[in-house]
Structure 1
Amino acid sequence: MFDREVEWSDLVAFATQERAGATLGVVSGRRRQGKTFLLDSLAQAADGFYFQAVESTETVSLHSLGTALGRHRGIGPLRLATWEEAVDELLALGSDRSLPVVIDEFPYLARQNSALPSIIQAAYGPRRSQRLTSRTRLLLCGSAISFMGGLLSGSAPLRGRASLDLVVHSLDFRQAAEFWGIDDLRLAVLTHAVVGGTPAYRDFVNGDAPDSLTDFEPWLERAVLNPSSSLYREARYLLAEEPDLRDRALYSAVLSAIAAGNHTRSGVTSYVGRPATDLTHVLKVLEDCGLLQIEPDAFRGNRNTYRIAEPLLTFHHAVMLPSLTHIERRRPRLAWQQNQRQFECSVLGPHFEAMCREWVSAFAAPETFGGLPTEVRSGVVADPKGRSSHEVDVVVHGIVGQDPGILLSVGEVKWHREMGVRDLDRLRHILVLLGARGMDTTHARPACFGGGGFSPELVAAGRRGEVILVDLERLYRGE
């Protein structure tokens, strides 16, 4: 187990609580994050019960569950005719002690019988005697984000019944570098832009990680752009496994539009060639499935930015799909050469910007920005006099003293080139524009995030406290 101490601690605390009465927990997260490993390990450690559902019929699933329950109890297979009987048997497992009972891939069972959440609700009724005497710690797990997110929301039957709602997230970029064993920070960024923080992807390539910057392209050719690699078709499976994505061609087109650099609604509609009204539902479903992040503009409340949540999906649509013929014919080098520029502009650049925003949210010390960051976004600032607009990669709002929502910083991100005083002057100009609009900029400091380093003049300005400088070393190891 790697870096899942918090999740493991929460699961153990839930599974071992001694108070009387059956309890319910929900575990969710995108596929390949290690949910099954965590829950199977929990069941083994506590001598609990683990059952993994599969896509099948209700009758077959009840038969499989009855067989697994009988095996766990050391008796013959149980004959379960209904889900009411099945849930009663699960509650009976905890009649003598606190016991974790895991139902993995729960959405498969709920699709076979849509009443299953209501059946569990009834079994967990506040006055039901079997629930009061049982100490079953029932954990429902699933990767269908939209479904699992709805289990406990609104007027859903299980709302208010669960005492644990655990989301297993991807590893952050620092954890991912350690997990892949990459010490070269520039190489770590490149690799993270392709595979992100999904732990299972290292197993998909048999632990093969690029060992140097010069090995990055050969690694792409042998591990990602290789039709024999398990990672090669993973992006397609991510879409195929989501039950709510019906018109997959349209969903794929929307993802291709965003991967190509179209991060606004108008850009997506223009690329796809469909009216904005046709895409409203598509964008919402992709967000609900955890495949798309919709981020409000830091300065314009009516403008959203769309970003793909899974880096491998971005890489697939920006780099792999345009040269699929070359890849299928085992010409990965040619495919990479044709799309390397696209990777740098549409994949690597935006990904590095997102990493810098994550650093502010997750790793920067409060004193770095003179306050506690609470909202980190990108934004666009209009320049009426210059008849133009300025994109701001990192906009930080936070708390200063007791005052919330204070503008703490505006930041520029550059991956390839050395940043200089010209970048600082641009940020100062943006602050002047914001001040002219009536925004309080007295606490705001310019920030430069550079993958290619900083000029001596900019370093000197940083020492004078005129600008916050964040290089790769600080991004990965500092505050």
Structure 2
Amino acid sequence: MDKPSHIIGRERQWRAMEKFLLGGDQDGPLRLGLVSGRRRTGKTQLLTAACDALGGLYIACVQDEGDRAARQRFASALGRHAGLGDAVRGEPESWERLLRAALDTAARVAPPGLPGVVVIDEFPYAMSDAPQLPSLIQHLYDDSQRRQAPGGRLILCGSALSVMHTLLSGTNPLRGRAMMDMRLNALDYREAARLWGVRDLETALRLHACVGGIPGYRPLMTSAPASADEFDTWIVDNLLAVDVSVFTRTEVDYLLREDPRITARSLYYDILSAVAQGAHTPAKIGAVIGRDSNAVRYPIGVLESAGYLTRAQDLLRGRKPTLSVCDPIIRFDRLITAPHLSQLELGRAEQIWRAAAPTFRANILGPHLEELAREWVHRFAPDELGRPTGFGTVGFGSVQDHSGRAKHDIDVIAIENNQVHLIGEAKATLTRRGLPDLERLDGIRGLLARTGHDTAGLITALFSVTGFTDDLVRTAASRADVVLVDLPCLYGRS
């Protein structure tokens, strides 16, 4: 089962899908799998490609359709797959009969030697009017294990992460029955550059800082900018254009609507804005929005489980975890679009974008480069720096210099037990990085050693968008422990 060329990345996921669909006894009992991921991550693209390859039955559920209409839609899709047309006369069958018929039909229509495959996309939409569906699937699965129901492969897919993750938790009916639980995340930044076809690496970085690695945005936007000069026009025509579907305020509203727990969206907007602006703990978030810290803990948890906020720990000081907005388009909306919404609605997108340039570089591009630097150390550096076992836990940290009464923040740190393998600094400033930046990291290295950390074999890394001064390049060439990571190195094109 070859992965189609139009699907960028997803090699690991495709192999897992292939193993789930084609592994084991093709005529054995039912196998159940789950696929989840936020809106536009490419779940449908992946699943329809698998159905096309194996002649499977793909059925998409519709939001707020009602139970009868949902059963009628299911029955029509089933009829088309069986070659009987999509006309459904009278009252559609019960869900129990429809599920059994879908597996029977998929097995009958499947090519010789292949299992019957049924994919139910956006399964939570059907569940909203038929909450008994997981229990019905449980009984169907259990009967199949006793050879009293059809076999084959059944995949449930959905964008409502909280609903999908709950299906296999606690005492829920499907717990312990799914063989595959695939959570589709965004493409990494190198794959995203391939997806958009961007060759200019600074433009690729800026693009990823705005929309991340979400494949579903690509067909909805104008052609990707080929250079930094085109980038400004692209932003105005897409993310800041009120009347297009990818206007960030519209898109974020859709994202929040995906989670049924998010009802009073104004509170969630306020929390996302506070975090994007630098409030990284519940107490600080509560202070910014005028609420008690306990009042924001539940909505923060919802945003975390939905994949819109993430928390990380200072790897050196063990302080309370800090929260950050992990979805680039939400961060862009909260920092650029939301504060100027009324002016954008008057058609002043170009003026707003010019005025927002300092905010974009300091609060979006800079932090994003730090995130990609940590991702590079975690994902790519083990192979590219000859450390196949990796660098341990990668994150950020801070160390206190008691003699100088100063605290030093470390953008990138990789640590394993007490051994620090790498420290790094990532800056998206307009000036090149120079010897003072390396000297600062050397000072931090000495401070770590004095505070009891093992720094033997430590690598010092400097990350820069604009490159490095000549004296820094010469010094790095003479030191095996110094790595200079410019954009070609970051993107694996050096």
Q: Distance in 2 between matches of 1:293 and 1:154?
A: 23
Residue segments in structure 1 that go unaligned for 5+ positions in a row:
399-403
Tell me what 2:3 maps to: none
Give the TM-score normalised by the residue count of structure 1.
0.92
> Which of 76, 80, 101 is the aligned partner of 1:67?
76
Q: Is the 8 A contact 1:53 1:104 kept in 2?
A: yes
- Answer whether contact 1:449 1:470 (CA < 8 A) is retained: yes
Q: Distance in 2 between matches of 1:81 and 1:265?
A: 49
- What does the per-residue CA deviation read over 1:136-186, in whole Å, with 9 as the maximum and x for residues that have no partner? 210100011122122223433212211112222211111111211111111
Q: Are positions 1:413 and 2:426 aligned together?
A: yes
Alpha-carbon separation, structure 2, partners of 1:477 and 1:390: 30
Q: Could you say which residue in structure 1 is the equivalent of 2:122?
A: 105
Which residue, out of 307, 329, 333, partners 1:316?
Answer: 333
Query: Counterpart in 2 of 1:201?
Result: 217
Superposition pairs of residues 297-336 of structure 1, within 5 angstroms: 297-336=314-353
CA contact (8 A) 1:419 1:454 kept: yes
Amino acid aligned to 2:419? I
Name the SS for the 2:347 alignment partner: coil
Once superposed, what is the RMSD of the aligned Cα atoms? 2.2
C-alpha displacement of 1:264: 3.8
* 1:423 CA displacement: 1.4
Structure 2 vs 1, CA of residues 437 and 405 (structure 1 numbering), >3 Å: closer, same or farther? closer
Stretch moving more, 462-471 or 249-258: 462-471
Which of 10, 13, 25 is the matching residue for 2:33? 25
Distance 1:221 1:295 in 2: 33
Sequence identity percentage: 37
Aligned counterparts of 1:359 and 1:74: Cα–Cα separation in 2 = 50
- Pick closer, same or farther for the CA change 1:193–1:394 going to 2, 3 Å: same
- Deviation larger for 38-47 or 287-296: 38-47
| 2:40–2:217 Cα contact (<8 Å) kept | yes
Unaligned runs of 5+ in 2: 1-5
Q: CA deviation at 1:198?
A: 0.8
Is 1:152 the equivalent of 2:158?
no
Q: Which residue in the other structure is 1:454 paired with?
A: 468
Q: How has the CA–CA distance of structure 1 residues 228 and 271 changed in structure 2, closer, same or farther, with 3 Å as cutoff? A: same
Which residue number in structure 2 is paired with residue 217 of structure 1? Answer: 232
Q: How does 1:51-450 map to 2 (within 5 A)?
A: 51-55=59-63, 56-75=65-84, 77=88, 80-96=92-108, 98-125=115-142, 129-130=146-147, 134-206=150-222, 208-232=223-247, 233-365=250-382, 368=385, 372-398=390-416, 406-416=419-429, 417-450=431-464
Tell me, yes or no, if the aligned pair for 1:366 and 1:373 is still in contact at 8 Å: no
Count of residue pairs brought into register by the alignment: 472
User: CA offsets per residue over residues 318-364 of structure 1, 9 Å max, x none?
Assistant: 01111112211111111112222111111111111101111111111
For 1:252, give the aligned amino acid.
Y
3-state SS of 1:324 partner: helix
**Aligned partners of 1:69 and 1:77 also within 8 Å:** no
CA distance in 1, matches of 2:475, 2:386: 16
Pair 1:154–1:460, CA change in 2 (3 A): farther
Aligned to 1:401: none
Secondary structure of 1:395's counterpart equals strand
1:478, distance to aligned residue in structure 2 (A): 5.5
TM value normalised by structure 2: 0.90
Q: Give the drift of 1:19.
A: 4.3
1:269-314 Cα offsets, whole Å, 9 max, x none, are 3322222211211111101011111112212334212222211111
Shift of 1:467: 1.9
Whether 1:14 and 2:20 are equivalent positions in the alignment is: yes
After superposition, the C-alpha distances for 1:105-154 in whole angstroms (9 at most, x for unaligned) are: 001122223232122112111675456x6332101000111221222234
Tell me, yes or no, if the aligned pair for 1:42 and 1:100 is still in contact at 8 Å: no
Mapped contact 1:409–1:447 kept (Cα < 8 A) = yes
Please report how far the alpha carbon of residue 405 of structure 1 lies from its aligned counterpart in structure 2 after TM superposition.
6.2
The one-letter amino acid paired with 2:366 is G
Distance 1:340 1:299, change over 3 A: same
Partner secondary structure for residue 213 of structure 2: coil
Flag the 1:128–1:419 CA change in 2: closer, same or farther, 3 A. closer
- Deviation readout 1:181-232 (Å, 9 max, x if unpaired): 11111111111111111112121114x2112111111111112211122210
Greater alpha carbon shift after TM alignment, 99-108 vs 159-168: 159-168
1:475 is aligned to 2:490: yes
Aligned mates of 1:393, 1:183 — CA distance in 2 = 27
Residue 255 of structure 1: CA displacement? 0.9
Indicate how the Cα distance of structure 1 residues 455 and 260 shifts in structure 2: closer, same or farther if over 3 A, else same.
same
The amino acid that maps onto 1:77 is: V
Structure 2 residue matching 1:152: 3-state secondary structure: coil
Q: Do the aligned residues in 1 keep the contact of 2:28 with 2:152 (CA within 8 Å)? A: no
- Shift of residue 95, structure 1, vs aligned partner: 4.5
Give, in angstroms, the shift of residue 475 of structure 1.
0.2
The verdict on how the C-alpha distance between 1:154 and 1:435 changes in structure 2, with shifts beyond 3 A counting, is: farther
Q: Deviations over 1:82-114 (max 9, x none)?
A: 332222223323554511101000011222232
Q: 1:157 to 1:301 in 2, by over 3 A?
A: farther
